Amino acid sequence: MANDSHSKTIGYILWIFGFTGSHRFYYGRPVSGTIYFFTLGLLFIGWIVDLFLIPSMDRDADMRFTEGRIDYTLAWVLLTFLGLLGIHRFYMGKWVSGILYLLTGGLVGVGYIYDYWTLNDQISEINQAG
């Protein structure tokens, strides 16, 4: 059975806000996600091009990240909307850092940003461990 760690549907939904880089972070491309964030999707040109690149970004993410008990999409939704409270960390079983995030607002936002850069790798590591 083929690995399907990420969703094209979620990728396209995030693409709507893609000038912020959200779809690129989701697919494990934090450098270009950050560039998109600061340049409005490369002045919207890169954002439009990405409409056609999402299938290949999804395929690359599926090959790169390990599917398992932690669902990437759910973790990303939790990070995006409740990340400063550490809810995504509780979901991943990282209770100590989850409590720290809850008490400090995601370590005053720095941990929240760190997780945008590394969440896919963190989940993949947990999924590989079983």
Question: Whose structure tokens read 């947990």?
Answer: 126
Please give the Cα distance from 95 to 100 (Å, whole number): 9
pLDDT digits (tens, 9 = 90+) for 55-87: 999 999 999 999 999 999 999 999 989 999 999
pLDDT at position 122 is 97
Per-residue buried b or exposed e for 68-98, using 16+ beta carbons within 10 Å of the residue's own CB? bebbbeebbbbbbebbbbbbbbbbbebeebb
pLDDT digits (tens, 9 = 90+) for 90-117: 999 999 999 999 999 999 989 999 999 9
**3 — pLDDT class (breaks 50, 70, 90):** confident
| 6 and 65 Cβ atoms separated by less than 8 Å | yes
Give the mean pLDDT of 41-49: 92
Q: Is the pLDDT of residue 1 over 70?
A: no
